[in-house]
Amino acid sequence: MSAIEELRRTIARLRGPGGCPWDQEQTHGSLVRCLIDEVSELIDTIDRLDLPHMREELGDVLIQVLFHAQLAEEAGHFDLEDVAREVNEKLVRRHPHVFGENKLGTSEQVLVQWEQIKAGEKKNGVSATGSVFKPQPPRLPALMFAESVWKRIREKKLTVPAGVDVAQVEALGRQLDEAMLGRMLFEIAAAARSRGLDPEGALRLHTTRVMRDVEAIHQAANATGTA
């Protein structure tokens, strides 16, 4: 028996008759916080390059994946094999430069091709929202959310609202290095804490407003045929 199969059976045993009362009570929703906590602990080991503990934390994240697959299997929706099969098919499909004839030479070319393939998959299967922005995970950290929105704005050459000073953003970007960025973000977080403000929530709200304003400009331009 492989270690993965043994772990899967252990989780099924915990969930089954005579198993653990806590495990038996869990749902997909109740496990969300556990997943966030475990991923956060894994990220900490990655940041510290702590490989022995990284192995342990990867195992804790793996438990969460198997636990959700077990819950879905019990409900008759899908099982771990379905999860693995689907993601494997996706990897092969999105890497034709490896598994096909379309060879690419740079990571930039790979990323462009990945987005093109992904966009085609959305058209053929997943419902589209009509938004100029890609759907973002609702629990995506605010900094990653803001970065993703700005990346989309620049990639699509979208018109930004008056409140966004593009020239200032680009000038600041030319000055930044990792140490300076870290110091500035820390000082902003510390200042927010001293005022009782929530920097995560403030950034998320502002990014959402920017998204809505850009969408409104884009829709107005489409309506007048100037997009």
The 10s digit of each residue's pLDDT in 159-210 is 888 889 999 999 999 999 999 999 999 999 999 999 999 898 899 889 989 9
Residue 227: the pLDDT is: 54
pTM of the predicted model, to two decimals? 0.65
Domain annotation for the chain: domains and CATH numbers: 3-85 (1.10.287.1080), 94-124 (no CATH), 142-224 (no CATH)
Residue 7: the pLDDT is: 97
pLDDT tens string 30-70: 998 889 889 989 999 998 999 999 999 999 999 999 999 99
pLDDT tens string 93-140: 999 999 988 888 899 999 888 888 888 887 655 444 567 776 666 667
Q: Please give the single-letter amino acid code of residue 145.
A: F
Residue 141: the pLDDT is: 83
Closest CA to 152 of 132, 124, 171: 132
Tokens 């007048």 correspond to 224
Q: How many CA atoms lie within 13 A of 63 on its CB side?
A: 20
Residue 20: the pLDDT is: 97
Residue 136: the pLDDT is: 66
Residue 8: the pLDDT is: 96
Which residues 6+ apart lie within 8 Å of 141 measured at CB?
200
Residue 126: the pLDDT is: 42
H, E, C per residue of the chain = CCHHHHHHHHHHHHHCCCCCHHHHHCCCCCCHHHHHHHHHHHHHHHHCCCHHHHHHHHHHHHHHHHHHHHHHHHCCCCCHHHHHHHHHHHHHHCCHHHHCCCCCCCHHHHHHHHHHHHHHHHHHCCCCCCCCCCCCCCCCCHHHHHHHHHHHHHHCCCCCCCCCCHHHHHHHHHHCCHHHHHHHHHHHHHHHHHCCCCHHHHHHHHHHHHHHHHHHHHHHHHHHCCC
Q: Which residue has the higher pLDDT, 224 or 161?
A: 161
Spatial distance between the Cα atoms of 181 and 24, rounded to a whole number of angstroms: 45
